[in-house]
Chain A
């Protein structure tokens, strides 16, 4: 039986999340995009053995996701699906890096485990932040933000078109695949020759569809830009959002906040 990824459905869910409303959704997409970019740069800026310093950064995806009402289970599922490559590759670290390093308070384990944990943390932080960004912003507004921030217009327009027609073509591929299955009951797998024919037909239809789309867009006055229904305005809240998070990332990078916090607590206690 031909198998079809259910990837398209996942995109639909993320798309639906991005159409909700919350104060996070109403922020200017440029502010969210830039904040996420600085966040990612901060996460990867440490050396390979950093664990504790990374922890406070979890605040960014958590806060953004909470305000944007992004379901935790959804993010967790995506993390699990995306995990294998990174986790398997990172698992080589404990094998090859066995020099002991201090984990905390005099406890020593091999450096490879520390760097592996760091990799897992980085993975969780970066993927969660990217998902939160898309869930509260949506593809169209992200494209618009990218275009204003300097991406080539051709690229942004065709990215928006890709997103729009992804669902359409995925559904068409699904119909073609089901039609092939129904016409060959009992055939267990799709040969490469059949695949070539199926995808070849899909490509021919794609070409015709693209020409129809182009004519339709030209008839409706398309001049190379896809206009936004809700115009973007960079207001004081957006500036505060961006500046506040950048300051937080800088503080986390420069000072080891967990150490400060722990020292404070222990100082009060003891």
Chain B
């Protein structure tokens, strides 16, 4: 589902655009286009292919209703993450301009929801590992299903988050989540099946079309791939920002037991279970993000220290 301009605030829209522009610049730099490279026509025509494929409806088995392909995952399998991201961004641009699907201001958020999550997270972190170096029918199907489902769940959660942060709608977050996530679970299953059908056909007909990276093992399997780290960084920041809103202000079990043991009366209110969904508070989430960043820095330093120690030993 696309974010609309009518439901967005300038801050959220601006943040989405900033993220999109940064990712687009990064992707453009990563795609080294040699003079005889077919990247650019492949991207443009591949995006047009996804558009055309979206016009073909198929029947969802068991329900009788019809569905159509999303396409981000197929693009990623064909072109690789960076090119697929740019292609998805252009598809969403045309949709926003010509179909009024989403708005121009919300375009940044839509590119993140429907471009970043499938191309930079679902494809490299789920599809490629599951498909493996020598994929089989079963592995490709499983990879498509898992990547499609997770990618769409992330995208749906992105929409909920952005809508809630904008504050234009009065829908409470948990109600919205309860609506969006199950629906997109079903959509994800269908997308996974459709993607698997197409990828299996192409893989049997002409496997060379699929992005070479999906069937080639990493050259240096010892080093941690940088993109993986970057992706986890982004996910950690996002999660810490979002989940910190649910952080309870009551002391946790350890503090409570320590205070009880030492007799210090710290808390005035009883320690009751409270899992109410708090209002979005920019202060808390900033603390959450800062906390996540510090945690990652500390983890990185520990990792460096450990590596140096083991290297010195060997």
**A contact set with B: CB distance below 8 Å:** 2-5, 7-8, 10-11, 14, 36-37, 40-41, 43-45, 47-48, 78-79, 81-82, 85-86, 89-90, 92-93, 95-97, 111-112, 115, 118-120, 122-123, 126-127, 130-131, 133-134, 139, 142, 151-155, 157-166, 168-170, 172-174, 177, 189-204, 206-207, 209-211, 213-214, 217-218, 223-224
What CA separation (Å) do A202 and B78 show in the bound complex? 13
B44 contacts which of A90, A131, A153, A157 (Cβ < 8 Å)?
A157
Q: Does chain A have a CB within 8 A of B306?
A: no
Nearest chain B CB to A200's CB is how many angstroms away? 3
**B1 in contact with A169 (CB, 8 Å):** no
A contact residues around B103 at 8 Å (CB) = 40, 126-127, 130
What CA separation (Å) do A44 and B168 show in the bound complex? 9
What CA separation (Å) do A111 and B38 show in the bound complex? 55
What CA separation (Å) do A256 and B168 show in the bound complex? 20
A contact residues around B55 at 8 Å (CB) = 4-5, 7-8, 170, 173-174
**A154 in contact with B40 (CB, 8 Å):** yes
**A-B contacts, 30 listed (Cβ < 8 Å):** A3-B57, A10-B99, A44-B5, A82-B100, A86-B4, A90-B6, A96-B175, A97-B170, A115-B168, A118-B168, A126-B5, A127-B103, A130-B96, A134-B97, A158-B44, A159-B44, A162-B45, A165-B44, A166-B51, A169-B51, A170-B55, A173-B53, A192-B60, A192-B193, A197-B197, A201-B201, A203-B49, A203-B198, A206-B46, A206-B48
Q: Does chain A have a CB within 8 A of B303?
A: no
What CA separation (Å) do A265 and B89 show in the bound complex? 49
A contact residues around B194 at 8 Å (CB) = 192, 195-196, 199
**B28 in contact with A152 (CB, 8 Å):** yes
Chain B interface main SS type: helix
Interface size class of B (residues with CB under 8 A): 35 or more
**A130 in contact with B97 (CB, 8 Å):** yes
Interface string of B44-80 (1 = CB under 8 A from A): 1111110111111111110010100100001000100
